[in-house]
Amino acid sequence: MPVNLLDFDLPQLTDFLASIGEKPFRARQLMRWVHHFGESDFACMTDLAKSLRARLEHEAVVGGPKLLSESTAADGTRKWLLDVGAGNGIETVFIPETGRGTLCVSSQVGCALECAFCATGRQGFNRNLSVAEIIGQLWWANRALGRDAHSDPATGDRIITNVVMMGMGEPLTNFDNVVTALRIMLNDYAYGLSRRRVTVSTSGIVPNIDRLREECPVALAVSLHAPNDALRDRLVPINRKWPLAQLLAACRRYVEAIPYEDGQDQASPSGVKWKRLGAPRDFVTFEYVMLAGVNDQPQHARELLAIADEVPCKFNLIPFNPFPHSGFERSQPEIVRRFQQTLLDAGVVTTVRRTRGDDIDGACGQLAGRVNDRTRRRERHEVEVRA
Ligand code: SAH
Ligand code: SF4
């Protein structure tokens, strides 16, 4: 069985090439061909020896995702439905803005966490995505947006400047594959993105927030959605396992701790040796979906101020994106504005996320892909899943 080179970060690619008698610099060349140039045909990799190309033809593939469908929204947002086999699809969304382009990447087929307001959670969980399937979304989007992955032919600028792990799934419950994919995103021979421009969004898997800080610190977004445990238990059920006090403590650690300098004697708990990387950001972004009458009242905003006192943070208020039978409604713009103002008046940086791509169901929480649900539920929700 040939290996899929999209599964490998640079050290793994180096090991693979060593196993067929090749030197480490070949791994850097190959990484560049595969990711930087988006090349999948070994015959085109002209600076590799002919014998190596022939060997790779037999032993390896660059197995990117297959496209099931694509759509473009009126605002230029693009969405690709990619085939991950067994009748399952995952969705990847590209959001162009002035001066930046953000790719929203999925980490799982479905999601097990069942947040009350999320279409992905309603579908149940099927499986984790492999490294190739995660990084394959960036690989695919780069090719789809212009073959030379990194730049707009007219301006020479990068097309995809930011990646957010905010598509389908909970990235921190697919930890190892997500971290390997993140390393490929950051690698200079591959995509060369800075840690500040790659964001992992989590609903609050506390132990893995700490592991992320140790193993691959990138910008962190936390789906807060409620200012107290009683409400958060209802909206984000994982809160019953790791309640707010634990979550906020992990957030503080994330922004405070700077990974260890190589050779210093602070040992990271997992024994990883670090070069001094610097915390990628000195704040956590709290995402807060605005649900009419549920978490959007003035007292909720005031409760959030206490949280903002504890954790260096910014707030991003997300207008709720409806889906069939969700049982929730979007807060009125005036309510959102007042909520934002309460936070701003107390000096807390607070933005309201512009809804993008909702006419193609590409907005936050609307990504449903196609999922053959393998979870058994006590209670089966009535949901319309788009085929
Ligand atoms: N599982 C991760 C990342 C994916 S969800 C997480 O929960 O953080 C990305 C963001 O979209 C999260 O903040 C999530 O809570 C939010 N979201 C989910 N459903 C939504 C909806 N219907 N409308 C608006 N935002 C939603
Ligand atoms: Fe999963 Fe995130 Fe949706 Fe919650 S909001 S169900 S964690 S994808």
Q: What is the pLDDT along the chain (387 residues), one digit of tens a residue?
A: 899 999 999 999 999 999 999 999 999 999 999 999 999 999 999 999 999 999 999 999 999 999 999 999 898 899 999 999 998 999 999 999 998 999 999 999 999 999 999 988 888 999 999 999 999 999 999 999 975 445 565 666 678 999 999 999 999 999 999 999 999 999 999 999 999 999 999 999 999 999 999 899 999 999 999 999 999 999 999 999 999 999 999 999 999 855 544 444 444 444 444 444 555 778 999 999 999 999 999 999 999 999 999 999 999 999 999 988 999 999 999 999 999 999 999 999 999 988 776 676 666 555 556 555 555 333 332 222 222
pLDDT for 146 equals 78
pTM > 0.85: yes
369 vs 82: CA distance, rounded Å: 8
pLDDT for 354 equals 82
Helix (H, G, I), strand (E, B) or coil at 355: coil
Q: Scanning the structure block, which residue is given the tokens 């990974």? A: 259
CB contact at 8 A, 103 and 138: yes
Helix (H, G, I), strand (E, B) or coil at 78: strand
Q: How far is CA 187 from CA 9, 162, 305, 348, in A?
A: 8, 14, 38, 33
The tokens of 130 are what? 């492999």
Distance 201 CA to ligand 2 centre (A): 10
Q: Count Cβ atoms within 10 A of the Cβ of residue 311 and give its class: 0-12 exposed, 13-18 middle, 19 or more buried.
A: buried
Top mutation candidate among 95, 223, 294 for ligand 1, by most atoms within 8 Å of CB: 223
**Number of other CB atoms surrounding residue 264 within 10 Å:** 10
CB contact at 8 A, 92 and 103: yes
C-alpha 58: how far from chain center: 33
- CB under 8 Å to 322, separation ≥6 — which residues? 328, 329, 330
Query: CA angle, corner 8, sides to 6 and 12, nearest 5?
Result: 160
Q: Which ligand is nearest to the CA of 221?
A: 1
364 is catalytic: yes
The tokens of 351 are what? 């933005």
379 is catalytic: no
pLDDT for 258 equals 54
pLDDT for 386 equals 25
Query: CA angle, corner 137, sides to 135 and 143, nearest 5?
Result: 105
Q: Whose CA is nearest to atom 3 of ligand 1?
A: 166
Query: Which atom of ligand 2 is least distant from the CA of 108?
Result: 8
138 vs 193: CA distance, rounded Å: 12
pLDDT for 372 equals 59
pLDDT for 362 equals 63
Give residues (CB < 6 A) around ligand 2: 111, 113-115, 118, 120-121, 169-170, 203, 223
In DSSP terms, 137 is beta-bridged to none
pLDDT for 150 equals 55
54 vs 237: CA distance, rounded Å: 52
Catalytic residue among 22, 39, 91, 215: 91
